[in-house]
Structure 1
Amino acid sequence: MNVSVVLFTADLRLHDHPPLRAALDGSRQVVPLFVRDRGVAGAGFAAPNRLAFLADCLRDLDAGLRGRGGRLVVRSGDVVDEVCKVVAEADADEVHMAADVSAYARRREERLRHALETDGRRLHVHDTVTTAVVPGALTPASSDHFAVFTPYYRQWSGQRPRDTLGAPRAVHVPDGIGSEELPSRAALSGVSEGLAAGGETEGRRRFAAWLGSGVAAYEDRRDDLAGDATSRLSPHLHFGTLSPVELVHRAHEAGGPGAEAFVRQLAWRDFHRQLLAARPAAAHADYRTKHDHWRSERTARDDIEAWREGRTGYPIVDAAMRQLRHEGWMHNRGRLLTASFLTKTLYVDWRVGARHFLRFLVDGDLANNQLNWQWVAGTGTDTRPNRVLNPVTQARRYDPEGAYVRRWVPELAPLEGPSVHEPWKLRGLDRAAVDYPDPIVELSEGLARFRQARARG
């Protein structure tokens, strides 16, 4: 065969890219293609932060291809229509792409397969491009998927991921295949001021630096809010500028408790993907319903808005919500705290929070976002669905001196040490001098409401 098309989706890299390698091995020329899917925008997933990061990724991918004699072809519209147009223009024999797990991605894949086969072409879908272990490859004896992480992790840890692939030395693209201009983050509005840069080059630089200086302490410091000791690689995993297979291999090579703790987080990512693959409705419906009668968005409107804006009166919650708006990212411990506060202390539907996170998170991954929200809300896979995280207790534990709070809630900066976590305890002129709201709900009141509601459910 002479020409193949490689459809890039959530795998915007050249290193360890099985679809690209297969296309290059089997064809004389290859068309690297990315389609700006109008269906994604129509479904409300085209958030400014992710569009900006995507623009960085596409520009970096194009630069990497040009350095190898190729280029990236960009189109906009319906993915199936645009792929078929490029296939016809290039007279390509086949299309290679990565597997995905969402219901939308799977429908898109089947539509593309049908369209290509009707025209006498072939579609090759490659596994372990966006995961380390294929979703569905590991199952318990009594089900088609794992619903509890620990037994899943036990089996997952016993798998040896495939060998990694190097980046290609040369990519030859046929002449005459038109492309749109590459998008630019400069043309976008509504992008978070502190949004990190995207692209494979940046992702590999960040990972190499973290392996050298951060991973060793990860097990002990990953919940340290002020220390900011996590890898911050989640956006790169979401857009596929880094390979989860390569990350597992390189972490194992580094060795030590920190590296193993990091690998465990990669396993959590695969766990959620196998769950969504088996139960696609979990993206919008309770995985395990507790028959919650959530407060309506109308009734809880003021509380929801205070939560979104970071003015709940609980400094650790507000700090995390402000970090989200400023960076398009939030520390994992902050995600747990803010989600618990919304769903259990305020007793608001997890979908309200999940939508807000997807509006800002640059790593807004459907499987991880929705299923982590359900885990916290008690409608997902948590084996203790009624646990409630106390924001004050958690703040004292994970931000003991209050540095994280003072970074993101500057009006509390004059307060010293752990006193910053309970500003409502200030008296007289000291309290009047702090321009910060009182708590929107007493923790005991929220806890009682949640327990009563779950008891009725």
Structure 2
Amino acid sequence: MAETALVLFTQDLRVHDHPALARALEQNDRAVPVFVLDPALTGRASRNRNAYLADALADLRATLRARGGELFVRQGETAEEVHALAQETGATDVHLSAGVSRTAQRRLDRLSCTGLRVHTHPGLTVVPPGALTPVGGDHYKVFTPYWRAWEGTERRPVLPAPDRVPVPSGPEPGTIPGHLPEEGRGVPARVPLRGGEARARTRRNDWLDGGLAEYPDRHDDLPGRATSQLSADLRFGCLSALELERAAHARGGDAYVRQLAWRDFHHQVTAAFPGITVHDYRDRGRTWHEDPDALEAWKQGRTGVPIVDAGMRQLLDEGFMHNRARMITAAFLTRTLRVHWRHGVAHFDAHLYDGDVADDHGNWQWVAGTGNDTRPNRGFNPLRQARRFDPEGVYVRRHVPELADLPGRSAHTPWAQDPPPPGYPEPIADPEGG
């Protein structure tokens, strides 16, 4: 048995159901859990994600210390810092969860060049990307056949948290910078979301006990806040997607489990097509417009279309947006304004707590008609969406204070008034035209 191995934490900031950590402890006397604050990542992350990350790292360190271990925190280029820590501890192996993005692949390539033996493990999704492939293809391009295969796939066991995490003596733990939430892009959320595995597991338990049963009927209810709101916890891996899926499945939460399958679907697409961040997954010959003024109005929630503005202002206020609102706002930008999806995903990424390469780009391209949607020209009328999913205008009035005094569904169409409510703009485009 080897003596010491490194465990590089990335988007898996937990100790429950952590295959890389479990294997390192199984094969070695000691483990060196490490997280590298790489400026290439923290500098372009949203301030909200950096704030969540700071919480999550503090929580992970406390959890490991309670098990006799430590979280070693380093700052710099990831492969260089891992290699230096390996030399300091005598480790020859590094274990980590397999990612799907181009950044994850570059990190893996650079680690492989250090001379360390690199071992990747599942852990970021329910079913590992690449585990399911259609006949004659390298990945599923349409969700429904993927979902059928995904449902019938045998799951790996959910792993318990280790009782002990022995670590070598000598290395300095390193500090978690107090200024980390100040780095990055976007504006901090008005109501911050606190990160870490302990808080995530509490939110998960509250959701399973109090919200899961109503999810099939209420998940599109914009004012009801009836979704799990665990997306940031999954994005940082403070929750295991597999453990959550198994718990929801055991309680009959099939509608919610299907959403976890969508997450897996986008991850396997990104693993096969990492260029999804910059290239159309399917080139439909779209013609995009450069319209800086319209883009800025959309970013600030000043389009004059209340349901769109409500979603955009929720994003600025909370670093979160209901999934239905994400589709409405993305469709307005790409289908009504004809502005390129790359501008939209960049703005979302600058503010979201849950900003994730695979989910964000997969969903944006789906809405824009360049992704995996089998109906790329489907209509997406924001007014009909508003009347259906916010019938009394509660969501709009909550997030657009200029419209707070308008009664009921009239909050959806203030431009019908002459003049419009004070301080609220006229629509920058025909909302029926998308």
> Shorter chain as normaliser: what TM range?
over 0.9
Tell me the residue number matched to 1:99. Answer: 98
SS in structure 2 opposite 1:29?
Answer: strand
**Unpaired runs of 5+ in structure 1?**
448-457
1:179 aligns with 2:173: yes
Q: TM-score, normalised by structure 1?
A: 0.92
The equivalent of 2:77 in structure 1 is 78
- Which aligned pairs between 1:84-123 and structure 2 lie closer than 5 A? 84-116=83-115, 121-123=116-118
User: How much has 1:185 moved relative to structure 2?
Assistant: 6.5
Deviation (angstroms), 1:186: 7.8
Residue pair 2:29, 2:166 contacting (<8 A) in 1 also: yes
Partner Cα separation in structure 1 for residue 293 and residue 103 of structure 2: 34
Looking at structure 2, the residues matched to 442 and 141 of structure 1 have their Cα atoms a distance apart, in angstroms, of: 44
Are the structure 2 counterparts of residues 292 and 174 from structure 1 closer, same or farther at C-alpha, using a change threshold of 3 Å? same
CA drift at 1:426:
2.1
CA contact (8 A) 1:193 1:327 kept: yes
Matches of 1:152 and 1:168, distance apart in 2: 33
Cα distance change, pair 90–138 in 1 and its aligned pair in 2 (3 A): same
Please give the alpha-carbon distance, in whole angstroms, between the structure 1 residues aligned to 2:15 and 2:181: 26
Say whether the 8 Å CA contact 2:70–2:173 is kept in structure 1.
no
- In structure 2, relative to structure 1, the CA distance for the partners of 1:347 and 1:8 (3 Å cut) is same
Separation in 2 of the partners of 1:162 and 1:50?
A: 29
User: In 1, Cα distance between the equivalents of 2:37 and 2:379?
Assistant: 40
Q: Which residue of 2 aligns with 1:240?
A: 237
3-state DSSP of counterpart to 2:55: helix
Q: Following the alignment from structure 1 to structure 2, what is the Cα–Cα distance between the partners of residues 168 and 443?
A: 54
Shift of 1:70: 1.3
2:403 touches 2:421 (CA, 8 Å); kept in 1? no
How far, CA to CA, are the matches of 2:44 and 2:267 in structure 1? Answer: 18
Give the secondary-structure state (helix, strand or coil) at the position aligned to 1:123: strand
2:312 corresponds to which of 321, 331, 339: 321
Is 1:294 the counterpart of 2:293? The answer is no
Verify: 1:219 aligned to 2:220, yes or no: no
User: How far apart are 1:131 and its partner, in Å?
Assistant: 0.8
Pairs aligned (count): 430
Instruction: Summarize the alignment of residues 58-457 of structure 1 with structure 2, pairs less than 5 Å apart.
Output: 58-116=57-115, 121-127=116-122, 129-184=123-178, 188=182, 190-255=187-252, 259-296=253-290, 300-427=291-418, 431=419, 433-444=421-432, 446-447=433-434
Residues 351-407 of structure 1 deviation map (CA, whole Å, 9 limit, x = unaligned) = 010100110011110011011100000000111101231111100000011111111
Shift of 1:179: 3.1
**2: distance between equivalents of 1:353 and 1:123?**
36
Query: Partner amino acid for 2:124?
Result: T
Distance in 1 between residues matched to 2:383 and 2:345, nearest whole Å: 23
- The farther-off stretch of 385-394 and 148-157 is 385-394
Distance 1:19 1:320 in 2: 38
Partner SS, residue 330 of structure 2: helix
Structure 2: segments with no counterpart, 5+ residues: none
Matched, 1:2 2:9: no
Instruction: Please state whether the residue corresponding to 1:115 is helix, strand or coil.
Output: coil
Does the 8 Å contact 2:130/2:138 carry over to 1?
yes
Q: Give me the identity figure in percent.
A: 51
Tell me if the contact between 2:234 and 2:241 (Cα under 8 Å) persists in the aligned partners.
yes
Task: Describe the SS at the equivalent of 2:223.
Answer: coil
RMSD: 1.4
8 Å contact 1:52–1:185 — kept in the other structure?
Answer: no
Any idea what SS the aligned residue of 1:14 has?
A: coil
Distance between the aligned counterparts of 1:390 and 1:217, measured in 2?
26
Q: Equivalents in 2 of 1:186, 1:370: separation in Å?
A: 25
CA distance in 2: counterparts of 1:328 and 1:93, whole angstroms: 40
The whole-number CA distance in structure 2 between the counterparts of 1:49 and 1:388 is 33
Q: Deviations over 1:116-154 (max 9, x none)?
A: 2xxxx4221112x00111111111112111110000000
Deviation beyond 4 Å, 4+ runs, structure 1: none
